[in-house]
Structure 1
Amino acid sequence: MRALQLFGDRDLRLVDVEPPPPPGPGEVRVRVQAVGLNHIDVWGFRGMAFAKRKLPLAVGAEAAGAVAAIGEGVTHVDIGDRVAMYGALTCGHCKACREGRDNLCESVGGIMGFHIDGFARDFVTMPQRLLVKIPDNVSFEQAACAPIAFGTVQHMLFDNAKLEPGETVLVHAGGSGIGTAAIKMAKAIGATVITTVGDDLKGEKAKALGADHVINYRTERFEGVVRKLTGRKGVDVVFEHVGAETWNGSLLSLKRGGRLVTCGSTSGVSATMNLMQLFQQQYRIFGSFGCTLRNIAESLDKMAAGITPVLDAVLDVGDFRQGLERLESRQVFGKVIVRL
């Protein structure tokens, strides 16, 4: 079968490899149909974590496909079912996994496509518990956005920040895959959305998605605009995933008692902050990583109900590198999908 493997820093090759063995008890073989690209793929492409993994490595951390074979005792899915696949090999036995919180697994085997072989290959074998069925009216390309992009947003906004109708949320990088999803999910419950973008064209597209206010962070200090828009009160929730460049501005954008939820650090992993501001303003800060299987199912249900992903581009597998370079340059609006 084909596999897109990383052999070294920025060295991607589409090669022929042996297919996985037949699925064992409780396992399912899935024919991969679509892979969603994320910044974790860019980090791997650049050479992060080489010391922790064995190369060559099949890339791709987020995907959807169709069940091709099932092992003994599989009852959750059947041959032909369309499924989205969890992006990490979790143990299924620890307390967190038993409670459905796989993103807190105590014995995780690794993130697919980053630590262990990922989804950019014709077939992959997974435990049945890590598969979520796709509703009939959701395409493979859309479903490939559920395990990381939509699932991450669902977990951030509603499990952690507990965004409510009528509240105001600041969504950073509104043109990104998770930014576009956050705008649509927040608007769907009746929240007011302020978003930051890097150029005016992205601003127009963000408004078309439903953003109430758009700030070009290259020409304006977003925290100052946010304070003006909210009558100097600040927002209820900040959806943060940019990192060091926006961290303190994000805190200044919060109302007293506001919530900041963060899942990323694309602009840098370290920041300083005013601790007196933190406790005097009674901010609540949530770190959020990945999502649960329940979040993936919730995301797919939202897609079926009409809250669909924004797709920047749908590429062939041979153009995977081009997709990564689009993400790296930030010249995207929405998700980049690769078809297998």
Structure 2
Amino acid sequence: MRALTLVKERQLEVLEVPPPPAPQAGEVQIRVRAVALNHIDVWGYRGMAFAKRKLPLVVGAEASGEIASVGPGVTRFKVGQPVVMYGALTCGTCPACREGRDNLCENVGGIMGFHIDGFARELLNMSERLVIPVPEGVSARDAACAPIAFSTVQHMLFDNAKLQPGESILVHAGGSGIGTVAIMMAKAIGCTVITTVGDDSKIERVKALGADHAINYRKDRFEGEVRKLTKKKGVDVVFEHVGADTFNGSLLVLKRGGRLVTCGSTSGPTTTINLMQLFQQQYRIFGSFGASIRNIAESLDKMAAGMKPIIDTETPISNVAAALARMESRQIFGKIIVSF
């Protein structure tokens, strides 16, 4: 079978590899249909793995597929059923896993496609515990965006930031995969949405998703523009995933008692903050990584109800290097999907 494999830093090849064995008890075998790219794929492609890994490595951290076969004792799934897969090998037995906080697993075996072989292969076996059914009416292409893009935003906005109807929110990088989702999810509950973009061509596109205001951060300082738009009050929530370039500005545009939730650092992982500002303004800062299996199911339900991911590009597996280069250029609007 084919597997998209990182053979060395910045070199991907489609290799022929042996197919997996028949699934064991409690396992299902999945035929992968679509893989969605994320910045974690770019990090892995550049060699930025924050744990030991061995190359060659099958890439892909987010994907959808269908059940090809089931092992003994599997009752939740049947052959041909569309599914998505959880992107980390969690233990299922630690307190966090038992409480449904899968992304806080104490014994995680690694992130698929980053530390261990990922989803960009035609067949793989997984524990049925880590597989989520896809509702009727959700395509394989759209479903591939649920395990990271949609569920990460679901976890950030509602589990962590506790975003409420009618609040105001600043969404950074509104044209990105998670930025587009954050705009849609926030607008769906009646929030006032301000977003930043890096190109004027994206302004009308983010407004079409529901953004009330769009700021080209390459032309205008977003801090000043947000203060003007909110009459110097600031926003209730900042959706942060850019990192060092925007972090302190993001704190400046928060209301007193406002919440900042962050899941990324594409512009750099380190910054300094004014601690007096932090405690005097009573800011609440939430770090957010990944999501729970529950968040993925919630995201799929939103897709089934009509909230569809924005797709920038669909490309065959043979052209994935160009797709990753497009992600690095920051010219994308939405998600890139690799199909088998």
User: In which range does the TM-score fall when normalised by the shorter chain?
Assistant: over 0.9
Please give the per-residue CA displacement for 1:24-64, whole angstroms capped at 9, x wherever unaligned: 11111000000000000001111122861111000000000
SS of match in other structure, 1:179: helix
The answer to whether the 8 A contact 2:146-2:300 is kept is yes
Which residue is equivalent to 2:125?
125
Instruction: Measure the CA separation in 1 of the matches of 2:142 and 2:286.
Output: 28
| Corresponding residue for residue 237 of structure 2 | 237
1: distance between equivalents of 2:150 and 2:172?
15
Equivalent pair of 1:76/1:129 in contact (CA under 8 Å): no
Q: After superposition, what is the alpha-carbon deviation per residue over 1:182-211, rounded to whole angstroms, capped at 9, x for unaligned?
A: 000000010010000001111111011110
For residues 76-115 of structure 1, what are the structure 2 equivalents within 5 Å?
76-115=76-115
In structure 2, give the amino acid aligned to 1:68.
A
Does structure 1 conserve the Cα–Cα contact (< 8 Å) formed by 2:197 and 2:215?
A: yes
Gaps of 5+ in 1: none
Superposed displacement of residue 76, structure 1: 1.7
Q: 1:159 and 2:166 equivalent?
A: no
Counterpart of 2:296 in structure 1 is: 296
Equivalent residue, structure 1, for 2:228: 228
Q: In the aligned structure 1, how far is the partner of 2:257 from the partner of 2:184?
A: 25
- Match for residue 219 of structure 1? 219
Do the aligned partners of 1:132 and 1:297 also contact (CA within 8 Å) in 2?
Answer: yes
Q: Is the 2:170–2:239 Cα contact (8 Å) retained in structure 1?
A: yes
**Contact conserved, 2:57 with 2:117, CA < 8 A, in 1?**
yes
Give percent identity, aligned residues only.
71
Q: Which runs of 4+ in 1 moved over 6 A?
A: none
> Which moves more between the two structures, 250-259 or 95-104?
95-104
**How far apart in 1 are the matches of 2:212 and 2:129?**
39
Q: 3-state DSSP class of the match of 1:157? A: helix
- Residue 264 of structure 1 aligns to a residue whose secondary structure is coil
Alpha-carbon distance, 1:236 to partner: 0.2
Is the counterpart of residue 286 in structure 1 residue 286 in structure 2?
yes
Residues 66 and 82 in structure 1, CA contact (< 8 A), matched pair in contact too: yes
Distance in 2 separating the partners of 1:276 and 1:49: 34
TM-score, normalised via structure 2 length? 0.99
Q: Which residue is 1:173 aligned to?
A: 173
Structure-2 residue corresponding to 1:197:
197
Quick one: distance in 2 between partners of 1:303 and 1:256?
Answer: 34
SS of the residue 1:236 aligns to = strand
1:335 and 2:340 matched: no
Q: Which residue matches 2:307?
A: 307
The answer for unaligned runs of 5 or more in structure 2 is: none
- Cα distance, 1:105–1:51 mapped onto 2, change above 3 Å: closer
How many matched pairs? 340
The offset of 1:77, in angstroms, is: 1.2
**Cα deviations across residues 57-111 of structure 1 (Å, max 9, x unaligned)?**
0000000000001111112211111001111111111111111111001011100
- Letter of the aligned partner of 2:217 in structure 1? Y
Query: TM-score, normalized by length of structure 1?
Result: 0.99
Contact 2:51 2:115 in 1 (8 A): no
Question: How far apart in 2 are the matches of 1:310 and 1:158?
Answer: 21
For 2:59 and 2:85, the matched residues in 1 are separated by 14
Give the aligned residue type for 1:321.
Answer: A
RMSD between aligned residues? 0.8
Residue 215 of structure 1 aligns to a residue in which SS?
A: strand
**Aligned-partner residue type, residue 159 of structure 2:** D
Provide the rounded CA distance (Å) in 1 between the counterparts of 2:280 and 2:247.
18
How many angstroms apart in 2 are the aligned matches of 1:130 and 1:239? Answer: 28
